[in-house]
Amino acid sequence: MKILIIIPAFNEEENLGDLIKKIKKYDNENNLDILVINDQSTDETSLVCKREGVNVIDLPCNLGIGGAVQTGYKFAAMHNYDIAIQVDGDGQHNPEYIEKLIEPIIQGHSTMVIGSRYIEHLGFQSSSVRRMGIWYLKYLINTLTGLKITDPTSGYRACNKEIIQLFSSNYPKDYPEPESIMYIKRKGLTVLEIPVIMNERIGGESSINLHRSIYYMIKVSLAILFDKIRKESF
Amino acid sequence: MIPLKLQIILLLFILLAIVQLTRMITRYKLDLKYALLWILLTMTALLLVIFPQLLSKTANILSIETPTNALFLLAILLILAIIFSLTIALSRASNKIKNISQELGILRYEFESYKKNIGKE
């Protein structure tokens, strides 16, 4: 079974080294391939990866999180990977959950598995403002699709081959996490959540700051609504 | 109606625009696809300058009091159409750039690892 870990990274030199070390320590049998997508970082993100001996794709233009992640899925599709795991480059995601994340996929219970902070409510729970936003998105997706996704913005996810193919041909652009759940549901595929514990980011900066969060909420809401009325064939 | 002098000046402007449009299209500087709306705009303007009474008629049909206002409405609608077509073109182009960037990033990576393997042998 070929498994690829996709790590989108934009200016994450402070966090990436630790993350890669953690993954390697976790994966001592070396079953996992790691691929960092460097989205035109201005710091030494690419160098850190090379120093750690990890494969890195340096994008020639800044594509944003959606475009960067999709590059990973395109790579996974090209190289015939069976499972792709998305891990944020900021170190919020603990590699120790990888096994739990891919288990339902290997057993064929689900096509996609999301790691959620809000099932057991342990570890870093994000700020209250963000929790409100996530809560709202949870209800929006729930009313529109009936899916119960407690952590729709979580970027800690694993996908099977079918979804790798789907994402490599079409993936939402700017803030893709909630929208991609709609997309998968529309395609008749299944999403499952498992509880994980996340960390607070140590260094660097989040891509969503306070004044961008209003834009984020409006854009994501509209994206979800538009996806609802989209036909299945798109 | 409209003074002859103004009519002639406007006519000159429009003819100049038509000449420029045609020149750019024939020299492949402007894609016909994107020029279509501009051609429509110049043709409408040409028609209205030669037959100004058309504008009064349009105003009448739309129950707009003065022909000038009908002209503004027409002009703004056409301009909006052009701007919208630009947004569509931009979306398409940015999608293509995204795909090319992804492909280029992957290819560059594959090329580097290929080079490394060649070096080892």
Question: Which residues in chain A are closer than 8 Å to B103, comparing Cβ atoms?
Answer: 74
Number of other residues whose CB lies within 10 A of the CB of residue A178: 24
Pair A145, A51: CB distance under 8 Å: no
- Cβ contact (<8 Å) for A61 and B109? no
pLDDT in tens, chain A (234 residues): 899 999 999 999 999 999 999 999 998 888 899 999 999 999 999 999 999 999 999 999 999 999 999 999 999 999 999 999 999 999 899 999 999 999 999 999 999 999 999 999 988 888 888 889 999 999 999 999 999 999 999 999 999 999 999 999 999 987 899 999 999 999 999 999 999 999 887 776 676 677 778 888 999 999 999 998 887 666
Q: Which of B97, B106, B108 sits opposite A74 (nearest CB)?
A: B106
Q: Do B101 and A56 touch (CB under 8 A)?
A: no
Strands A191-195 and A32-38: unpaired
The answer for residues whose C-beta is within 8 angstroms of residue A216's C-beta and 6 or more apart is: A133, A175, A208
Query: Would you list the domain boundaries of chain B?
Result: 4-120
Residue indicated by tokens 């460097």? A38
> Between A71, A78, A173, which is nearest B105 by CB?
A71
Which domains occur in chain A, in start order? 3-229 (3.90.550.10)
Structure confidence at residue A86 (pLDDT): 96
CB–CB contact A60 B101 (8 Å): yes
The per-residue DSSP string of chain A comes to: --EEEEEEESS-HHHHHHHHHHHHHH-TT--EEEEEEE-S-SSSHHHHHHHTT-EEEE-SS--HHHHHHHHHHHHHHHTT-SEEEE--TTS-B-GGGHHHHHHHHHTTS-SEEEEESTTT--B----HHHHHHHHHHHHHHHHHH----S-TT---EEE-HHHHHHHHH----SSHHHHHHHHHHHTT--EEEEE--BPPP-SS--S--HHHHHHHHHHHHHHHHHHHHS-TT-
Nearest CA in chain A to B101: A60
Q: Are the beta carbons of A60 and B105 separated by less than 8 Å?
A: yes
Of A56, A59, A75, the CB nearest to B101: A59
Q: What is the pLDDT along chain B (121 residues), one digit of tens a residue?
A: 678 999 999 999 999 999 999 999 999 999 888 889 999 999 999 999 999 899 999 999 999 999 889 999 999 999 999 999 999 999 999 999 999 999 999 999 999 989 988 877 7
Which helix (H) or strand (E) is B82 found in, with range? helix B67-120
- Work out the number of other CB atoms within 10 angstroms of the CB of residue A158: 29
End-to-end alpha-carbon separation of chain A, Å?
30
Instruction: List CB contacts (< 8 A) between B101 and chain A.
Output: 59-61, 63, 67
SS3 B57: helix
Which residues in chain B are contacts of A71 at CB distance < 8 A? 102, 105-106
- Top residue of B95, B98, B103 to mutate, by most chain A CBs within 10 Å, is B98
pLDDT at A202: 74
Chain A residues within 8 A (CB-CB) of chain B?
37, 55-61, 63, 67, 70-71, 74-75, 78, 173
Report the 10 Å Cβ neighbour count for A16: 30
B92, B95, B100, B106: best to mutate for the A interface, most A CBs within 10 A: B106
A75, B98: Cβ pair inside 8 Å? no
B114 contacts on A by Cβ (under 8 Å):
none
How does pLDDT run across A52-62, given as a tens digit for each residue? Answer: 999 999 999 99
pLDDT in tens, B68-97: 899 999 999 999 999 999 999 999 999 999
Task: Name B13's Cβ contacts closer than 8 Å, sequence gap at least 6.
Answer: none
